[in-house]
């Protein structure tokens, strides 16, 4: 998760267990905008095999459906599911077993599923590095249902999109207007607050030099405009603003989204 950064340094940020595994979140974002209820990403889901889940040791009692229910919503209320990218920990929850477990169906029956043409092509015909992260059962039912659309063809989503290729080709960062700033769902551009330094990147990134350039370009805009970074994988920190110091980019204010 921290690439070439020595373990003696990164273990202070997210202490590993005896198997060198760290605790991470799969935090989604729900946006209410007039007649739209937009979900960004959808987590890992629950349809994979016991063997598959044994690799990741899921814990806690959170689930997407429970979180929606706690807010008074159901999966049927989602009008749009914007997918930052299609790796299984970001897009696995959008497809579920049908009632008799003979096949798959979309989780959000009334929603449009949004991705980009570049990323869709990348997911269906992936490189050996990423192939295991793109599961056909997470992808094809979106298309087969007729619910899949591409932002390239135009969209009515209430936010701008920052496009990134360093983690995976065609990843998208939603930049949502909120009060006097933007809340940016930074996905795997910055998996956690501790990935803000430009050279703190994941071994999963397919183009390490590209993602460093993209991170710097994004951080320049974020610091100039006091944007809020919303973290998908950080187990403790939901949001922060960023500042440029003599030692590089650093978190400025750290807070929960509810405190904005």
pLDDT of residue 77: 98
pLDDT of residue 61: 86
Residue 10 is encoded by which pair of tokens?
């990164």
* pLDDT range class, residue 59, cuts 50, 70, 90: confident
Q: What's the rounded mean pLDDT across residues 5-20?
A: 92
| Identical topology for domains 1-17+159-260 and 25-150 | yes
Coil, strand or helix at 10: helix
Question: Domain-by-domain residue ranges, the chain?
Answer: 1-17+159-260, 25-150
Residue 107 is encoded by which pair of tokens?
């989780």
CA distance 24 to 14: 9
CA distance 213 to 222: 14
Which CATH code of 3.90.1560.10, 3.30.70.100, 3.60.15.10, 3.30.70.20 fits the domain covering 25-150? 3.60.15.10
Residue 187 is encoded by which pair of tokens?
């996905």
Residue 260 is encoded by which pair of tokens?
């904005």
pLDDT of residue 194: 97
CA distance 133 to 127: 10
Domain 1-17+159-260 coded CATH 3.40.1280.10:
no
Please tell me what DSSP assigns to residue 60. S
For tokens 């960062």, what's the residue? 173
pLDDT of residue 30: 98
* pLDDT range class, residue 60, cuts 50, 70, 90: confident
For tokens 């897009």, what's the residue? 91
Span 148-180, pLDDT tens digits: 999 999 999 999 999 999 999 999 999 999 999
Cα torsion 114, 118, 124, 128: sign: negative
């Amino acid at each position: 998760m921290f690439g070439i950064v020595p373990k003696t340094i990164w273990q202070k940020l997210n202490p590993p267990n005896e198997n060198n595994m760290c605790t991470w979140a799969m935090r989604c974002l729900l946006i209410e905008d007039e007649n739209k209820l937009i979900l960004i990403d959808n987590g890992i889901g629950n349809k994979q095999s016991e063997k598959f889940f044994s690799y990741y040791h899921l814990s806690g009692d959170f689930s997407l459906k429970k979180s929606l229910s706690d807010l008074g919503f159901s999966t049927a209320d989602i009008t749009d599911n914007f997918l930052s990218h299609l790796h299984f920990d970001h897009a696995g929850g959008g497809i579920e077993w049908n009632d008799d477990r003979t096949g798959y169906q979309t989780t959000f029956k009334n929603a449009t599923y949004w991705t980009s043409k570049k990323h869709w092509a990348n997911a269906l015909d992936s490189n050996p590095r990423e192939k295991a992260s793109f599961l056909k059962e997470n992808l094809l039912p979106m298309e087969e249902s007729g619910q899949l659309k591409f932002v390239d063809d135009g969209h009515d989503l209430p936010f701008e999109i920052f496009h990134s290729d360093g983690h995976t080709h065609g990843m998208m960062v939603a930049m949502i207007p909120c009060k006097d700033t933007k809340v940016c769902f930074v996905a795997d551009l910055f998996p956690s607050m501790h990935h803000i330094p430009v050279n703190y990147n994941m071994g999963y990134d397919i183009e390490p030099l590209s993602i460093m350039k993209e991170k710097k370009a994004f951080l320049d805009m974020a610091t100039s405009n006091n944007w809020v970074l919303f973290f998908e994988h950080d187990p403790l920190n939901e949001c922060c603003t960023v500042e440029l110091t003599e030692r590089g980019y650093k978190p400025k204010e750290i807070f929960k989204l509810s405190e904005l």
